[in-house]
């Protein structure tokens, strides 16, 4: 596996290890090219919004978007940390149980370019989803996170 992907995963693990939020034993990264994906179960059920709060207390995260269905049954929130060295990942918090979450899918990237490209695609594909937008990061703000001086 790519050493950048390993370091990104190790940095994530170190960030959340003491929180007790996730069950980190026996999880396997699925590597595909320059990305790696893993499903990480939570130690207990969380509301999606509460899980975002928990992440915010551990590291600075940005909400790419927060969307839900008309009836509130489906909720999806995508967050990512500031793309510093070895903090290049996107956390997909997805629920079809009125916001109750029992795990998250995390995609790790081996470069800032790949991460930005993926976030752009996710933001552009949002308009094709059948969900109401609760919060969405403007594309200009996304670029500022990656290109600020």
- Give me the phi and psi of 61, to 5 degrees please: -125, 155
Angstrom distance (rounded) from CA 90 to CA 80 = 5
- Of all residues in the chain, the percent with pLDDT exceeding 90 is 49
Look at 137 and 109; give whichever has higher pLDDT: 109
pLDDT on residue 137: 84
**Mean pLDDT, the chain, whole residue set:** 88
Mean pLDDT of 100-108: 96
Q: Is 77 exposed, middle or buried (0-12, 13-18, 19+ CB in 10 A)?
A: buried
Summarize pLDDT for 22-74 with one digit per residue, the tens.
Answer: 998 888 889 999 999 999 999 999 999 999 999 999 888 999 999 999 898 99
Total H helices, total E strands in the chain = 4, 7
Residue 21, pLDDT above cutoff 60: yes
**Total domains, the chain:** 1
What is the per-residue pLDDT for 129? Answer: 67
Tokens 């499903």 found at: 39
* pLDDT of res. 149: 41
The pTM assigned to this predicted structure is 0.89
Which structural domain, as residue segments, surrounds residue 37?
Answer: 3-147
């Amino acid at each position: 596996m790519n050493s950048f992907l390993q370091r990104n995963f190790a940095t994530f693990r170190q960030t959340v290890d003491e929180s007790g939020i996730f069950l980190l034993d026996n999880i396997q990264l699925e590597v595909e090219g320059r990305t790696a994906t893993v499903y990480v179960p939570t130690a207990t059920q969380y509301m999606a919004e509460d899980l975002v709060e928990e992440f915010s207390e551990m590291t600075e995260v940005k909400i790419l978007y927060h969307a839900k269905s008309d009836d509130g049954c489906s909720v999806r929130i995508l967050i990512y940390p500031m793309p510093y060295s070895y903090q290049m990942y996107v956390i997909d918090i997805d629920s079809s149980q009125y916001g109750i979450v029992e795990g998250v899918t995390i995609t790790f990237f081996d470069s800032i370019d790949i991460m930005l490209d993926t976030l752009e695609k996710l933001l552009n594909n949002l308009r094709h989803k059948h969900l109401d937008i609760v919060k969405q990061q403007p594309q200009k703000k996304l670029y500022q996170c990656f290109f600020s001086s």
